[in-house]
Amino acid sequence: MKTSEKMPEKTPIATLGAFGLIDRLAKTVELKQPSTLKGIGDDAAVVRYKKAATVVSAELFLEGIHFDLTYTPLKHLGYKLVTAGVSDIYAMNATPRQILLSIGLDKRFCVEEVEELYAGVKIACEHYGVDLAGGDTTTSLTGLTLHITVTGEAPEENIVYRSGGKQADLLCLTGDLGAAYMGLQLLEREKRVFDGNPRKQPQLEGYNYILQRHLKPEARKDIIELLAQHHILPTSMIDVSDGLASDALHLCKQSNCGVRIYLERLPIASETFRLADEIHIDAVTAALHGGDDYELLFTVPVALYDTIRKELPSVDIIGHLCPPSEGACLLTPDNQAIALTAQGWVG
């Protein structure tokens, strides 16, 4: 940017006040779900579902714990927040319908920056087909705080819980693992370099995939649609947000089963391997414990093996459930059993 160019003037939030800010943001919100009877502008949103069960989930993002604004664009942050929320709904085999967004803002933020955050939220709402139906805005003394509540619906008989897995069920996983964690490691590395030398340009070339997986992840709406299309009802399901090992153990505990996961079947992207080698991190450890992937881990009866392989090409069969007495293990190619531990994602 040329030095003669003027920076756009920023609008202090105090000039609008909390209610003025809400009114300004609400003007750009369009409701599309028939079940949304009332959105922003009253004491509560009003929704109505007919002949369906309602599912509700919530996500809390805290600055310094879940995100760093040094390298996280506000628009990406808004998108990621919605992704995290709707991923929980998809993990129930349900369809998200509405979100409620609450934000805590400190004095650093201007109106335009809040609008940038909301722009990412609205892009995600459009992508996932949900309505921004309300929320709250308040002052924060501890940095940016974001909270989202997501409501969704499904026929009661189609809802999938963590507790339905059976011994010998196949363990299936969408996408790949560890990329989001390695994207975070790359950004943290470049932040340390910048802190030491602000004139040095970040070295991010060749790592677009893992950066996107961290900054703008996607929830697996496509998989839920494919499962419905092929009349596949998983016996259990969970979204992988805390790391494969931790989430597999959650599923096993709720289903009262053990699990065998085959090391050679873990899907890990080439960029994940490359950066892991570059910064001396074990890629398998990142895949097992990195978290923030927002993939789906689910089980199906073994009779569906051929159907899964043929109809869901982006799904890998990585293991199977077993009696609880056999525990939860990762099996190496030479048949060594390594006990899974719930290290998981911190945050």
- Residue 90, pLDDT score: 96
Mean pLDDT of 92-114: 94
Distance of CA 222 to the CA centre of its chain: 14
Binned at pLDDT 50, 70 and 90, residue 46 comes out as low
Give 291-315 as a DSSP string: ----EEEEEE-GGGHHHHHHH-TTE
Contact 239, 251 (CB under 8 A): no
Binned at pLDDT 50, 70 and 90, residue 20 comes out as low
User: Does residue 47 carry a pLDDT above 80?
Assistant: no
Residue that the structure tokens 């509540």 belong to: 149
- Residue 27, pLDDT score: 73
Domain boundaries, the chain: 13-158, 162-339
Mean pLDDT of 255-265: 97
- Residue 36, pLDDT score: 73
- Residue 132, pLDDT score: 94
Contact 82, 38 (CB under 8 A): no
Percent of the chain with pLDDT over 70: 90
Q: How many other C-beta atoms are found inside a 10 Å radius of the C-beta of residue 337?
A: 13
Mean pLDDT of 164-171: 97
Q: What are the backbone angles phi and psi of residue 226, rounded to the nearest 5°?
A: -70, -40
CB-count exposure of residue 28 (10 Å: 0-12, 13-18, 19+): exposed
- Residue 197, pLDDT score: 78
Q: What are the backbone angles phi and psi of residue 290, rounded to the nearest 5°?
A: -65, -45
Q: Please give the CATH number for the structural domain made up of 162-339.
A: 3.90.650.10
User: Does residue 243 carry a pLDDT above 50?
Assistant: yes
Please report, for the chain, how many H helices and E strands are present, in that order. Answer: 10, 13
CA distances from 242 to 315, 342, 344 (A): 19, 9, 5
- Residue 17, pLDDT score: 65
- Sheet containing 53-62: which strands, arranged edge to edge? 53-62, 145-154, 95-105, 131-139
- 23-37, 236-250, 255-269: least confident range: 23-37
Q: Is the dihedral of CA 329, 331, 337, 343 positive or negative?
A: negative
CA distance 110 to 116: 10
Per residue in 269-328, pLDDT (tens digit) is: 999 999 999 999 999 999 999 989 999 999 999 999 999 999 999 999 999 999 999 999
- Residue 13, pLDDT score: 66
| Paired tokens of 247 | 């989430």
| Paired tokens of 29 | 């919100």
- Residue 345, pLDDT score: 47
CA distance 334 to 62: 43
- Residue 211, pLDDT score: 97
- Residue 51, pLDDT score: 77
CA end-to-end span of the chain? 37
Rounded to a whole number of angstroms, the CA Rg of the chain reads: 22
- Residue 22, pLDDT score: 62
DSSP-derived 3-state class of residue 56: strand
286-313-124-86 Cα dihedral, nearest 10 degrees: -70
Contact 91, 193 (CB under 8 A): no
Mean pLDDT of 193-212: 86
Pairing of strands 315-322, 295-300: unpaired
Question: Mean pLDDT across the chain, nearest whole number?
Answer: 90
- Residue 44, pLDDT score: 44
CATH 3.30.300.30 fits 13-158, yes or no: no
| Paired tokens of 314 | 């982006």
Mean pLDDT of 13-34: 69
What residues does 237 pair with on adjacent strands? 298
User: Does residue 115 carry a pLDDT above 60?
Assistant: yes
One-letter amino acid at 289 equals H
